[in-house]
Structure 1
Amino acid sequence: MRIRRVMALAVATALATTACSTGGGSDSEGATDGTINLAQGTDPAHMITTDATETVSSSVLRMMYDGLFSYSNTGDLVPVLAEAVPTSTDNIHWTIKVKQGTKFQNGEAVDANAFVRAWNYGAYGPHAQGGASFFSRIKGYDDVKATEDPDGDGPNKAPDPKAKELSGLKATDASTISVELTAPFAGFPTMLGYTVFWPMADECMQKIDACKEKPIGNGPFALKEWQHDIALTIERWDAYQGNKPAYKTIKWRIFPDGAPTWTDFEANQLDIDAPPTEQYQDAKAKYGERMLEVKSPSLSYIGLPLYDPTFAKKEIRQALSLAIDRDLLNQALYQGRYTPADSFAPPGIIFGATAGTCAYCKLDVAKAKELLAKAGGWPAGKKLQLWINTAASGANEKWVKAVGDQIKQNLGIEYEYHLEEWNKILQLTQDHKIDGPFRMGWSPDYNYVENYLVPIYGGGAKVTRTGYESEAFTKAVAEADAAPNLQDSVAKYQAAERILGEDMPGIPVFFSKSATVYSDRFDPASVVVNPVMGAIDLRLVKLK
């Protein structure tokens, strides 16, 4: 079963980093030996790029690796180690040219083979990489993934696959990657800025367990020290051939189980943080222009376990969504800062996203009761089980419990909730062992509406965390994939999104607006927020 990129904690979202300042160039002017102190809500789960599909891991690795592309502050694909954005005459065959002359931190060349070996490693089923599904469009994926599941623990526990390498992936020479997809996909280039498409050193391949503890990157920082569940420190790599950061060190302190971090920021022990909701107004007044408020692409939603008979009928799922007053929650919990979601992807931020694709994402108690009755009513005596991951200041617990209260008030359904550590929630949902709605978050892997649809709800019932599978949705996605260009694909993806809006395998609730405060140690002119990633670009920051 594939692990999808999901958003762990509000603090992780605020501290996620972008990589739009990489590429060729000289040292940053005025480089210093200063340290930036940050927080993470949990220990990174994975340090191999093809496995780093959640926010915490990828935010750390993003500072240690350069890929083929990154995303600009306007959401455009920007070449980093690629010569140019690839083009194709049929959207099946793609040629990617790799810049020559850059190296890994162990001295190995970063060439076409470095990318090919990484992608093959990530796709190979027995390696059980969380990002394996992102290679599924490349020809030969079905032969390298594990296809049987005799013990019911997921396809990665199956016998060895037919092949070890993707047949549609080749390094034709040191500077050329040739990719053949199984079907047309106009959006393929947009994916290539994502973590799982970064390169891998051969030494890392040969010593994978050692690399899990100390990655061999090719970016501006190298791992210095990792004290699990305590702290992680990276240090500027002075042999980096791109634009070097204007400071030497980043240290992340690990705050397990969602421990609060704001008091540490106010004590000048952290340089970036997001104020708790209840202190938002005070923080805004106190910090003024040092509080950055930016519409975020991060979605908070509730996943529904369609594999549980209670949630098998779409009318049940529709009724639950119609019983939620998103506007009231937004005002009561977030002072109106968030955007109540009426779609599955954030309009105005992500390319191709549009408002109003979810017909059941508004309060309508009468309709909710009608649909609940049509489904045969809620099972007598059964409580709604809500699953929530712990988070700083109990933020997730507050809004999910508020949703439970509204469902109880509007539909008469009693509920109880379960608090679990984030990585356990990921495992339980992956294994289909959760018996009720579960809190989820999503931040984009790449700037394309498809990324909010297929990774979360595509691939079939065995793959999705919700157990969702729809022939109509699969067909609509296939038609969108086959469109001749990105612009033509958008309308078809929106049609696929409207199918989700009818089936309701998940309940969109909010699109976030980040409120991030930065230290007075930062040069304000150097603080840039990437709206697609919803985060400060740490590669650009300069200390006073």
Structure 2
Amino acid sequence: MRGTTRTVAVAAMSAVALLAAGCGSGSDDGGTEDTGSDTATGGEIVVNGCTPENPLIAGNTSETCGGNILDTITSKLVHYNAEDASPEMDIAESIETEDNQTFTVTIKSDYMFSDGTPVTASSFVDAWNYTAFGPNGQAGGYFFTPIEGYAEVSGEDATVEEMSGLEVVDDQTFTIRTTEPVSNLPVRLGYTAFAPQPEVFFEDPEAFGRNPVGAGPFMFDSWTEGQEIVVVKNPDYSGEFGGSLDQITFRIYQDTDAAYNDLQAGNIDLITAIPTSALIDDRYQSDLPDRNATAETGVIQLIGFNTTADPNLTGEVKKAISMAIDRETINQQIFNGTRVNATGWVSPVVDGYVADVCGEFCVYDPEAAAAQLESAGGYDGELELWYNGDGDHKAWTEATCNSISDALGISCTAQPAVDFATFLTAAGENEYGMFRYGWQMDYPSIENFLAPLYSTNADSNYFGPYDNQEFNDLLTQAAAAGELEEANSLYQQAEALLVDDMPTIPMWYGKAVIGWSDKVNPVTINAFGVPDYAGITVQ
């Protein structure tokens, strides 16, 4: 995945600071160039895709297969700069606060959905209330936890449907009140769950998920189950981040090698991850000369544990398993050194990162691992390491199991689920004791690598689920901190607590390694590890 580390100093950024950053489009200060539809040169590309877990509803999508589609067809209050993920104004004209607890949001008056209806303050408030309302069962509901009234609407049996902390002032203005100060709230507002929804969504959300409408640079065209999802340019796009492409087809593959072969044959134009088979001896560089790119990203690969599924996986046993994994050899033999061995739970691309948080427990030491397992009382059973079969995970999970077996004398086998949607559903239903887990940051903050995964009842907390009140309290204190340094210190203390229980094992920090056909001009990778579709042009 990527080459040069980029630091994003936004962990405790105030709304006032966000305003100062502004949009920056077309400016001389390094802001994103205006690539609106009036600069279009056209063209179509085919890119490899995967099966979304859920219908394409912004508030119910918390994985990359659906998220990558929604990011092309939705716009949010805030847009993340392709180069460094710094926040820039998009639908928002301004986000103002004096206390990091009451925020006044003013939106641009000319923003439209692709069905021709206007984006209004109610488009946000109604969508957020729908997502947060527990009986609606939306995966993104967790992201509204800081807003006043969330506790009353979020329960499965809740009858209150509107958060008291949201109020529409007029068509272009609404206010947000949080239960405690949340210094980085404006930075979060570019995440998919915070996208607005048009009125047609509320008429039939289920049907909408198969034919979504957004305010983004592209608009949904078609979804052929198991084959492809097509988006086309939105001719009425109102924003400044559009790009030139007329159409993107996300072709669904069950195997990354098949996608790579199709790239070489000219059947697709872009692959978002080079398969491990082509990383060996840098084969992809000779296969795709001058048609590949590498960049560090806000992504981390983990091994997750669910102690509900397997109570024998205590924190002390998990430490032994972690010490039994030869990350460096696997990195070199499987990934040709294109990964960065992880020493903690937070990506180096965000401000607040600290090296070596995991300490000795993320260092390969088979003798110490065996002693640790003995001290923990051993492990009774056979380990299965689950992964999604439509991703390129077979080789490294098998190598990981071999390393664990060799060091600890425990039977360990890698087991594939048919696809990512099936895999994630099973993980959420506590079916896997041990499984591979990857996290791509939703927004550029140290908090995003901690709260959504390890907070009690967080949507992406598949790890037991993990429940540590001291951890929760530190996150609350960090969110309320007025200064970046204070916030980072508290988040770092929370991260350090993960060492005791090891809800996950850090494996590698992300690098994106992509390739493209000779039809496409050079492609850049954004800080989230995704191709910058706005910057893609065809020859």
Please confirm whether the aligned pair reaches a TM-score higher than 0.5, indicating the same fold: yes
Structure 1 counterpart SS, 2:143:
helix
Other-structure match for 2:97: 88
Other-structure match for 2:267: 269
User: For residues 236-272 of structure 1, what are the alpha-carbon distances to aligned partners after superposition, in whole Å with 9 as ceiling and x for unaligned?
Assistant: 1212233443231111211246672111101111111
AA partner of residue 340 (structure 1): N
Counterpart CA distance in 1 for 2:239 and 2:469 is: 47
Other-structure match for 1:488: 486
Deviation, structure 1 residue 70: 1.3
Deviates more, 1:51-60 or 1:38-47: 38-47
Other-structure match for 1:13: none
Q: 1:102 aligns with which of 88, 102, 111?
A: 111
Deviates more, 1:532-541 or 1:403-412: 532-541
Deviates more, 1:265-274 or 1:466-475: 466-475
Instruction: Give the alignment of 1:115-126 within 5 angstroms.
Output: 115-126=124-135
Counterpart CA distance in 1 for 2:60 and 2:368 is: 43
Other-structure match for 1:353: 353
Deviation, structure 1 residue 492: 0.9
Q: 1:56 aligns with which of 49, 57, 65?
A: 65
Is there any run of 5+ residues in structure 1 with no aligned partner, and where?
1-9, 11-18, 147-157
AA partner of residue 291 (structure 2): R
Counterpart CA distance in 2 for 1:310 and 1:162 is: 35
User: For residues 324-360 of structure 1, what are the alpha-carbon distances to aligned partners after superposition, in whole Å with 9 as ceiling and x for unaligned?
Assistant: 111111111111110010011111x123222211121
Report the CA distance shift for 1:320/1:44 in structure 2 as closer, same or farther (over 3 A). closer
AA partner of residue 367 (structure 1): A
Query: Is the 2:102–2:177 contact (alpha carbons within 8 Å) kept by the matching residues of 1?
Result: yes
Counterpart CA distance in 2 for 1:399 and 1:178 is: 47
Report the CA distance shift for 1:460/1:536 in structure 2 as closer, same or farther (over 3 A). closer
1:239 correspondence with 2:236: yes
Structure 1 counterpart SS, 2:88:
strand
Deviation, structure 1 residue 90: 2.6
AA partner of residue 123 (structure 2): A
Instruction: Give the alignment of 1:332-347 within 5 angstroms.
Output: 332-347=333-348
Other-structure match for 2:456: 459
Structure 1 counterpart SS, 2:73:
coil
AA partner of residue 448 (structure 1): S
Structure 1 counterpart SS, 2:39:
coil
AA partner of residue 41 (structure 1): C
Counterpart CA distance in 2 for 1:25 and 1:363 is: 47
Other-structure match for 1:539: 534
Query: Is the 1:24–1:242 contact (alpha carbons within 8 Å) kept by the matching residues of 2?
Result: no
CA-based RMSD of the aligned residues comes to 2.2
Other-structure match for 1:184: 181
Query: Is the 2:456–2:468 contact (alpha carbons within 8 Å) kept by the matching residues of 1?
Result: no
Deviation, structure 1 residue 25: 7.3
Instruction: Give the alignment of 1:196-275 within 5 angstroms.
Output: 196-243=193-240, 244-256=242-254, 260-273=258-271, 274-275=273-274
Counterpart CA distance in 1 for 2:511 and 2:460 is: 30
Q: 1:428 aligns with which of 426, 432, 437?
A: 426
AA partner of residue 477 (structure 1): L
Calculate percent identity across the aligned residue pairs.
29
Counterpart CA distance in 2 for 1:23 and 1:219 is: 17
Query: Is the 2:322–2:362 contact (alpha carbons within 8 Å) kept by the matching residues of 1?
Result: yes
Deviation, structure 1 residue 304: 0.8
Report the CA distance shift for 1:338/1:133 in structure 2 as closer, same or farther (over 3 A). same
1:303 correspondence with 2:301: no
Other-structure match for 1:385: 384
Is there any run of 5+ residues in structure 2 with no aligned partner, and where?
2-22, 26-31
Counterpart CA distance in 1 for 2:117 and 2:307 is: 47
Report the CA distance shift for 1:462/1:449 in structure 2 as closer, same or farther (over 3 A). closer
Structure 1 counterpart SS, 2:298:
strand
Other-structure match for 1:149: none
Deviates more, 1:490-499 or 1:34-43: 34-43
Deviation, structure 1 residue 463: 7.4
Query: Is the 1:115–1:200 contact (alpha carbons within 8 Å) kept by the matching residues of 2?
Result: yes
Other-structure match for 1:29: 39
User: For residues 281-336 of structure 1, what are the alpha-carbon distances to aligned partners after superposition, in whole Å with 9 as ceiling and x for unaligned?
Assistant: 12212423321011122211110112246445311111111111111111111111
Report the CA distance shift for 1:424/1:120 in structure 2 as closer, same or farther (over 3 A). same
Other-structure match for 1:154: none
Counterpart CA distance in 2 for 1:500 and 1:42 is: 32
Structure 2 counterpart SS, 1:508:
strand
Other-structure match for 1:372: 373
Counterpart CA distance in 1 for 2:450 and 2:122 is: 31
Deviation, structure 1 residue 479: 2.1
Structure 1 counterpart SS, 2:405:
helix
AA partner of residue 307 (structure 2): L
AA partner of residue 126 (structure 2): R
Other-structure match for 1:151: none
AA partner of residue 111 (structure 2): T
Query: Is the 1:43–1:254 contact (alpha carbons within 8 Å) kept by the matching residues of 2?
Result: no
AA partner of residue 131 (structure 2): G
Structure 2 counterpart SS, 1:491:
helix
1:476 correspondence with 2:474: yes
Report the CA distance shift for 1:537/1:306 in structure 2 as closer, same or farther (over 3 A). same
Other-structure match for 1:320: 321
Report the CA distance shift for 1:391/1:203 in structure 2 as closer, same or farther (over 3 A). closer
Query: Is the 2:72–2:218 contact (alpha carbons within 8 Å) kept by the matching residues of 1?
Result: yes
Query: Is the 1:187–1:486 contact (alpha carbons within 8 Å) kept by the matching residues of 2?
Result: no
Counterpart CA distance in 2 for 1:463 and 1:71 is: 22
Structure 2 counterpart SS, 1:83:
strand
Q: 1:443 aligns with which of 440, 445, 451?
A: 440
AA partner of residue 64 (structure 1): I
Report the CA distance shift for 1:437/1:489 in structure 2 as closer, same or farther (over 3 A). same
Query: Is the 2:48–2:252 contact (alpha carbons within 8 Å) kept by the matching residues of 1?
Result: yes
Report the CA distance shift for 1:30/1:388 in structure 2 as closer, same or farther (over 3 A). closer
AA partner of residue 503 (structure 1): D
Counterpart CA distance in 1 for 2:257 and 2:102 is: 48
Number of residues of Structure 1 aligned to a counterpart in Structure 2 = 504
Deviation, structure 1 residue 43: 4.5
